[in-house]
Amino acid sequence: MTADCEPAPTVATRIISPSFVRLLLACAGSGISFYLLLSVVPLYVGSAAAAGLTTGVMLLATVLTEFAMPALTARLGYRMLVALGLVLLGAPAAMLAISPALPLVLAVCVARGAGLAVMVVAGTALVAELVPADRRGEGLGVYGVAVGVPAVLGLPLGVYLSARAGFDTVFLLAAVVGLAGLAAVSGLPGRRTTTPGPGEPSGLLRGLGDSGLLSPAAVFGAVTLAAGVVVTFLPLAVPAERRGLVAVALLIQALLAPVARWVAGRYGDRRGYGALLVPSVALTALGVAALTRFDSSAAVVGGMVAFGIGFGAAQCVTLAVMFSRAPAGSHDRVSALWNLAYDLGMGVGAAGFGILVAATGYPGAFAVTALVLVAALVPAWRDHSSGVRVT
């Protein structure tokens, strides 16, 4: 075999670079800062109404900031954006120690919601910038692990420390961890490594149908709708005496999702993503359908196993498909759109299920959610069978 044969460049490509490691460190720090307070802030404000308001305001700030991210990226560049995101997540956390007054807490939630949007959009776009295209899926999988582990660690740790060491300790820890990520920012690229071609749409929502981004974004929105339902309402559906089972099932789901995201990326880079989109959506549907039998321990655990694998794989597959179809220089736009689908899906799922369950009860509401995912199999299958490139 000659030295200029085709396999050689593939062997030589690497995922890990100094810049990619710095990105992972910055995103891990921001993730731990975020998840440490996700459940603690609602506990801090006390009432259920105020707790719901803090989460809602933060989500609204996240979504609005995601709409603005393509323009912010063009103006500030990636390095400054990541620094801004870390400051918005870290510095306001320390201010919570001043007072539990609701106006102050809501202001902090707005700042941290904006910081979250900056970090997730810039972080995802930077993976596409820093990782070779032929190994982008696996790079997205590694990134998924880096941002998934903080959720597994930060959520229970924040609640535990708030009970043992007090709220102020958790607030200061979240601030320090978030701001510590600034040490990794200097090695990140400042501007896009590729620029949009002449005439390419620059707005977030322009040209979606022509570029083939709308279909995978809609499919992923259906998957995250189900995720919002599961994490919000499974603990409420299961009787209080069996809440330990729910905790174990949700932990299994949280552990499996980043692993499945990495495995899907590794497989997709080597064999293409066309065969993965439909099974990932089908697994999430199966997992939610199993929850119609939430009185059964086997159904709850088995459902969360299927859901965790399907949800993790769907994250990687939809994002890799969208990056492969996007015009040059559009990584920030793709990342903003994908994260927007993530957050809107989670929010709509949680809000809509709450209304639905009042009319149908939990079994019926879980069944309707599963049917939404079954409906999402239609555009997923069209993507698979239309011949549109999904590798």
pLDDT digits (tens, 9 = 90+) for 37-60: 887 888 888 766 777 688 778 888
pLDDT at 230: 86
Q: Is residue 313 part of a domain?
A: yes
Contact 262, 149 (CB under 8 A): no
What does the buried/exposed string (b/e) look like for 237-274 if buried means 16 or more CB atoms within 10 Å of the residue's CB? bbeeeeeebbeebbebbbbbbbbbbbbbbbbbbeeebb
pLDDT at 211: 57
Which of these three, 144, 164, 193, is where a domain ends? 193
Do 61 and 84 lie in a common domain? Answer: yes
pLDDT at 229: 85
Looking at the structure of the chain, the number of domains it has is: 2
Do 278 and 183 lie in a common domain? Answer: no
Do 385 and 293 lie in a common domain? Answer: yes
Do 163 and 99 lie in a common domain? Answer: yes
Q: Is residue 9 part of a domain?
A: no
Confidence grade of residue 381 (pLDDT, cut at 50, 70, 90): confident
Do 74 and 50 lie in a common domain? Answer: yes
Do 361 and 278 lie in a common domain? Answer: yes
Round to whole Å and give the CA distance between 223 and 343. Answer: 11
> Which helix H or strand E contains 328, and what residues bound it?
none
Q: Is residue 188 part of a domain?
A: yes
Do 208 and 234 lie in a common domain? Answer: yes
Round to whole Å and give the CA distance between 303 and 324. Answer: 31
- pLDDT tens figures, 70-118: 888 888 888 999 999 999 999 999 999 999 899 999 999 999 999 999 9
Q: Is residue 291 part of a domain?
A: yes
Round to whole Å and give the CA distance between 245 and 315. Answer: 26
Do 173 and 266 lie in a common domain? Answer: no
- Enter the tokens of residue 70: 């393509």
Q: What is the percent of the chain where pLDDT is above 70?
A: 88
Confidence grade of residue 206 (pLDDT, cut at 50, 70, 90): low
Q: Which residues 6+ apart lie within 8 Å of 76 measured at CB? A: 84
> Phi, psi at residue 286, to the nearest 5°?
-60, -40
3-state secondary structure of 166: coil
Residues 226-239: what's their mean pLDDT?
82
Q: Name the residue with tokens 């927007």.
A: 340
Is pLDDT larger for residue 228 or for residue 27? 27
- Stretch among 149-163, 216-230, 231-245 having the lowest mean pLDDT: 231-245
Q: Which residues 6+ apart lie within 8 Å of 163 measured at CB? A: none
Which of these three, 173, 193, 213, is where a domain ends? 193
Do 177 and 208 lie in a common domain? Answer: no
Q: Is residue 326 part of a domain?
A: yes
First to last CA, the chain: 27
What residues make up the domain containing 115? Answer: 14-193
Do 183 and 277 lie in a common domain? Answer: no
Confidence (pTM): 0.76
Q: Which residues 6+ apart lie within 8 Å of 335 measured at CB? A: 69, 120, 121, 122, 123, 124, 125, 128
Q: Is residue 120 part of a domain?
A: yes
The answer on pLDDT for 10 being more than 80 is: no
Look up the CATH number of the domain holding residue 110.
1.20.1250.20
Do 158 and 299 lie in a common domain? Answer: no
Q: Is residue 331 part of a domain?
A: yes
- pLDDT tens figures, 284-331: 999 999 999 988 889 999 999 999 999 999 998 998 888 888 776 677
Do 130 and 262 lie in a common domain? Answer: no
- pLDDT tens figures, 161-203: 888 899 999 999 999 999 999 999 988 887 655 554 444 444 5
